[in-house]
Amino acid sequence: MIRIENLSKSFTNGNSKLWALKDINLQINKGEIFGIIGLSGAGKSTLIRCINRLEEPTEGRIYIDGKDITSLDKKELRKVRKEIGMIFQHFNLLSQKNVFKNIAFPLELEGLPQREIHSRVNTLLEYVELADKKDAYPAQLSGGQKQRVAIARALANNPKILLSDEATSALDPKTTKSILELLNRIRKEFGLTIVLITHQMEVVKDICDRVAIIEDGSIIEMNTVEELFKNPKTQTARTFINSIKTDVEEEIIKPDGFKGTLIRLAYLGDSAKKPIVSQMIKKFGIEVNILSGNINELMSTSVGHLILELTGNEDELNKAINYLKSQNVSVEVIK
Ligand SMILES: Nc1ncnc2c1ncn2[C@@H]1O[C@H](COP(=O)(O)OP(=O)(O)O)[C@@H](O)[C@H]1O
Ligand SMILES: [Mg+2]
């Protein structure tokens, strides 16, 4: 659906040149919710803005449905842009226009007949549950309602792709959930492909299928959300995951304070239901001390983590660890 090849982007400020994106390669599938997470200044907005060429790539190619959009002229680009909706952190609504007119705006630009515009806008208003607010002005709406208007406007032209740049960052947690639910519904019902930028791991956990972590203009890790939570490979990924743990934090555990072997287990939904640890205690002559545990609910499954201290003879310990691995649990020996 979207294929990005060797994308780089530089900005020149006076004599200095800054590479905001460095050799980005990724592929986003149709109907997927693809997350891009990173700290402020990492290059997220620049990346997403290259996808509809609000930003001109310095190097590289971007293909949408096989078509190279980096080589399109203005007219062709306008056509492609109609298939790409976008929503923003600060909603970007027209403050002088009411809700109805905001959503109608892209359709008016298209020169659609008034009757068609009315029927389309009313359908969209129903869809985002704002039919009763159609005469209200943006200033009279809550943040969540404003974002719903922006979503309806982004959907007006029936796009295939929705780009979301920190769309929930200005919203409280409860409103964030409801907007994410709406985005998920849109993906399911219209088969839309959603590229979602965020600095909040919570958002990735709740809604994304896959995620790329971007740092200093480069993708440093990319995986399914399940795998990322189960086996984060970079310290940045671990820090993002830890940012949403509600339970005992791993950081609190200082490996030096323990005599035994410390292991960190990660397991997906199904394995979590089996009494793997108690089986292990029964089968092998070792002692187990549970140091911390948490479970993260993802969109399709859950990922659990446990940190255990094992004591016993080395042979039994190795057997126990192999047993865990045979049960589809990933095991990392911390110490
Ligand atoms: N128009 C611009 N001119 C110069 N530098 C820019 C411009 N836009 C972004 N940058 C720089 O590019 C880097 C990435 O910015 P951005 O993509 O906005 O990051 P993010 O969205 O992850 O916070 C930052 O260092 C930012 O200052
Ligand atoms: Mg940004």
**Residue range 74-127, pLDDT digits in tens:** 999 999 999 999 999 999 999 999 999 999 999 999 999 999 999 999 999 999
The residue contributing the CA closest to ligand 1 atom 27 is: 41
Could you give the maximum distance between any two Cα atoms of the chain, in Å? Answer: 80
Q: Is 38 in the pocket of ligand 1 (CB under 6 A)?
A: yes
DSSP state, residue 104: H
Q: How many A from CA of 42 to the centre of ligand 1?
A: 8
- The torsion of the CA quartet 310, 316, 319, 323, rounded to 10 degrees, works out to -50
State the pTM of this model.
0.84
Q: CATH 3.40.50.300 spans which residues of the chain?
A: 2-224
pLDDT at 253: 66
Ligand nearest the Cα of residue 11 is: 1
171-184 pLDDT tens trace:
999 999 999 999 99
Rounded Cα distance between 310 and 160, Å, is 52
Our answer on whether the CB atom of 17 is closer than 6 Å to any ligand 1 atom is no
Residue 248 pLDDT level (bands cut at 50, 70, 90)? very low
What local confidence, expressed as pLDDT, does residue 264 receive? 87
Separation of 46 CA from ligand 1 center, angstroms?
6
For 174, counting Cβ atoms within 10 Å of its Cβ (0-12 exposed, 13-18 middle, 19+ buried), the class is exposed
For residue 247, pLDDT over 50 is answered with no
Which pLDDT value is given to residue 328? 82
pLDDT band at 252 (very low <50, low <70, confident <90, very high): low
Residue spans in the chain of domains classed CATH 3.30.70.260:
250-333
State which of 18, 37, 89 you would mutate to test the pocket of ligand 1, scoring each by most atoms of that ligand within 8 A of its C-beta. 18
Fold of 2-224: Rossmann fold (3.40.50)
Q: Which of 144, 102, 100 has its CA nearest to residue 122?
A: 100
Q: Ligand 1: which atom is nearest the Cα of residue 12? A: 4
CA distance 237 to 228: 8
Distance (Å, rounded) from C-alpha 144 to C-alpha 150? 10
The residue whose CA is least distant from atom 20 of ligand 1 is 41
Q: Which one of the ligands is nearest to 37 CA?
A: 1
Q: How far apart are CA 237 and CA 139, in angstroms?
A: 38
Residue nearest atom 18 in ligand 1 by C-alpha distance:
45
CA of 38, closest atom in ligand 1: 22
Cβ of residue 191 lying under 6 Å from some atom of ligand 1: no
At residue 272, the pLDDT reads: 67
CA of 43 to the centre of ligand 1 (A): 6
Average pLDDT, the chain: 92
Instruction: State the pLDDT at residue 245.
Output: 58
Give the number of the ligand closest to the Cα of residue 165.
2
Question: How remote is the CA of residue 45 from the centroid of ligand 2, in Å?
Answer: 4
At 124-161, the pLDDT tens digits run 999 999 999 999 999 999 999 999 999 999 999 999 99
Ligand 2: centre distance to CA 245 (Å)? 24
pLDDT digits (tens, 9 = 90+) for 4-44: 999 999 999 889 999 999 999 999 999 999 999 999 999 99
11 lines ligand 1 (CB under 6 A): yes
Residue 165 Cα to ligand 1 middle (Å): 13
Looking at domain 250-333, its CATH architecture is: 2-Layer Sandwich (3.30)
Q: For residue range 217-240, list pLDDT tens digits in order.
A: 999 999 999 999 988 999 999 889
Ligand closest to the CA atom of residue 21: 1
pLDDT at residue 29 in the model? 97
Share of the chain above pLDDT 90, in %: 75
Which residues partner with 295 through β-bridges?
Answer: 304
pLDDT band at 193 (very low <50, low <70, confident <90, very high): very high
